[in-house]
A and B are shown apart, each in its own frame.
Chain A
């Protein structure tokens, strides 16, 4: 189950090394700014904004990473981010799967309106809506609770998941489902045992998308999570650099640490995405 990619029909061409070279160039472009960020975390704060700049630290120091990971405030923020992002992702899956399945399989009145509503909800930026979001959670006496933030993040990211999953469900031949029905499976069982495994790449895409969106959300969390220990990383991290005190090294060390869980999550589930997606071309 390790890195075995499905065998592709076309043999590896002689362009392989060239492609690798191009691939690493692309990787370098996307990584370069973050490499600078790592290097900034590895130098004293006063060296980060030095004029003239130097790419490599003039003095190497990993102290910032130690400062950050032993800081209880940071650990609280990290925990909030993890809890909220994971839970939002689960909520999105749970809510979007039935909706996407139903919209893909059945023609019902208001179907188009439903899909349109989903699309339109994406157009509102939380920045513009934050006052109303605060009001409704305030009235529900849920300001400053994880649940409020989880549900808000889930709602704002539902649309993409429904879109993606709908496409996958629609693409699964009915015959598969009908055969299962003959075997005596109920609709729920068909969905969980047969369709979901088949739509795995879609699920993976939805998971990545939702997790990242929730992980990076700023303005809603800023407004809803008032208790310092309940802030997520995106909000808490602004404490490192204020108008009065600048801990640039710690800001970037914290940022580097904040990227890691997302990349790890991606690395863990990426092979499912790859496997599923490439399987299409094996057919």
Chain B
């Protein structure tokens, strides 16, 4: 059984943040040694991510013609125009509902799926393969697929619901103002659960079996064990899943853009599709404004993640 011996004894698969908070036990060697180990990562990030980020900030301070030609400096004009955009409030509230909705449902569903996949049962392997499929399929394709599935006229979902007599006439999942956001959230959850479930699965598997043993001897019921033991021990995995999902859901473009592509205006856009449409699809057609919205989007994520880490996940991050 080589697997058992080669695995980390305490197998903390997904506890990076807790692990970072663990006091490293040695003082570091001189700075240039650190650079040797961290250098490639730093170089890659500085060269490939930071440079364009600086370019984005510069673009947000410039004025552009509709063609993309830079015509001069805009000062904070682009930011002012974004802040005064009549649809900004709507976009922000859509974004809040979208992020919170997808996040909460994804975490709950992810916990349930992970719990199931951590159990030993016949066919588990096939189920695990099946669960990875929505993660493996490109979001562009999945979004396209769901516009077909949910269509009013040729969507299979309506057909099935009609056949089952759940509804008596088709629902316009994508064109109705009250259905489009729930539809997008449902698809968002669908594609986010696989990754999240695997993070939780790793976390569940790192919980030592003897902890459960002890709980059983104390006569704890299944639910009590879950709430008092499993969930607290899953906190590191929860932290990772939450932080990463916040970022991904905020920045999730294809689902919102594609499912919503038949609806005119900004009524159902989130901050990221708002940013894109400002540049290319709306009458603003202004890449400077779009860049300002892009900077705003990053700041928004930064604040949300910072607040989360500071207040909700305090214990894990404190050094």
Direct contact of A and B (CB under 8 A): yes
Would A280 and B48 be within 8 Å (CB), given that A30-B134, A170-B20 are in contact? Answer: no
Interface string of A13-36 (1 = CB under 8 A from B): 000110110111011101101101
The answer to whether B12 and A152 touch across the interface, beta carbons within 8 angstroms, is: no
Interface string of B1-41 (1 = CB under 8 A from A): 10110111111111111111011111111010010111011
The answer to whether B136 and A212 touch across the interface, beta carbons within 8 angstroms, is: yes
Chain A residues within 8 Å of B52, by CB = 124, 129-133, 135-136
Contact of B127 among A23, A115, A212 (CB under 8 A): A23
Contact of B130 among A31, A96, A154, A252 (CB under 8 A): A31
Would A205 and B13 be within 8 Å (CB), given that A8-B120, A167-B18 are in contact? Answer: yes
A244 lies within 8 A of chain B by Cβ: no
Residues of B in contact, count (CB < 8 Å): 120
B188 lies within 8 A of chain A by Cβ: no
A87 lies within 8 A of chain B by Cβ: no
Chain B residues within 8 Å of A169, by CB = 19
**Chain B at the A interface: SS class:** helix
The answer to whether B294 and A164 touch across the interface, beta carbons within 8 angstroms, is: no
Interface string of A194-225 (1 = CB under 8 A from B): 00011111100100110010011011000000
Cα A278 to Cα B244 in complex, Å, equals 24
The answer to whether A95 and B41 touch across the interface, beta carbons within 8 angstroms, is: yes
The answer to whether A255 and B154 touch across the interface, beta carbons within 8 angstroms, is: no
The answer to whether A282 and B49 touch across the interface, beta carbons within 8 angstroms, is: no
Q: In whole Å, how far is A180's beta carbon from the nearest beta carbon of chain B?
A: 14
Q: Output the nearest chain A residue to B160 by Cβ-Cβ distance.
A: A55
* Total A-B pairs, Cβ < 8 A: 379
Chain B residues within 8 Å of A272, by CB = 3
The answer to whether A282 and B40 touch across the interface, beta carbons within 8 angstroms, is: no
Cα A280 to Cα B15 in complex, Å, equals 13
Cα A116 to Cα B123 in complex, Å, equals 41
Interface centre among A98, A154, A170 (most CB of B within 10 A): A170
Chain B residues within 8 Å of A200, by CB = 6-7
The answer to whether A133 and B13 touch across the interface, beta carbons within 8 angstroms, is: no
The answer to whether A132 and B55 touch across the interface, beta carbons within 8 angstroms, is: yes
Q: In whole Å, how far is A185's beta carbon from the nearest beta carbon of chain B?
A: 17
B263 lies within 8 A of chain A by Cβ: no
B313 lies within 8 A of chain A by Cβ: no
Contact of A112 among B45, B140, B213, B319 (CB under 8 A): B319
A68 lies within 8 A of chain B by Cβ: no
The answer to whether B139 and A155 touch across the interface, beta carbons within 8 angstroms, is: no
Interface of chain A residues 243 through 283 with chain B (CB within 8 A): 251-252, 255, 258-259, 262-263, 266-267, 270, 272-283
Cα A36 to Cα B135 in complex, Å, equals 17
Interface of chain A residues 84 through 129 with chain B (CB within 8 A): 91, 94-96, 98-99, 101-112, 114-115, 117-125, 127-129
Query: Apart from A20-B123, A103-B38, A280-B205, what 10 extra A-B contacts exist at CB < 8 Å?
Result: A8-B209, A27-B127, A31-B130, A108-B28, A125-B272, A169-B19, A259-B133, A276-B13, A277-B7, A280-B208
Contact sample, A vs B, 20 pairs, CB 8 Å cutoff: A22-B116, A26-B113, A51-B154, A103-B38, A107-B25, A107-B28, A108-B28, A121-B50, A127-B251, A128-B294, A128-B297, A158-B41, A167-B13, A216-B137, A267-B129, A270-B129, A276-B8, A280-B11, A280-B205, A280-B208
A-to-B contact residues, CB < 8 Å: 3-6, 8-10, 12, 16-17, 19-20, 22-24, 26-28, 30-31, 33-34, 36-37, 40, 48-55, 91, 94-96, 98-99, 101-112, 114-115, 117-125, 127-133, 135-136, 151-152, 154-156, 158, 160, 162-164, 166-174, 197-202, 205, 208-209, 212, 215-216, 218-219, 233-234, 237-238, 251-252, 255, 258-259, 262-263, 266-267, 270, 272-283
B-to-A contact residues, CB < 8 Å: 1, 3-4, 6-20, 22-29, 31, 34, 36-38, 40-42, 44-45, 47-56, 59, 113, 116-117, 119-142, 144-146, 148-149, 151, 153-156, 159-160, 190, 193-195, 198, 201-202, 205-209, 213, 236, 240, 243-244, 247, 250-251, 253-254, 272, 275-276, 287, 291, 294, 297-298, 301-302, 305, 319
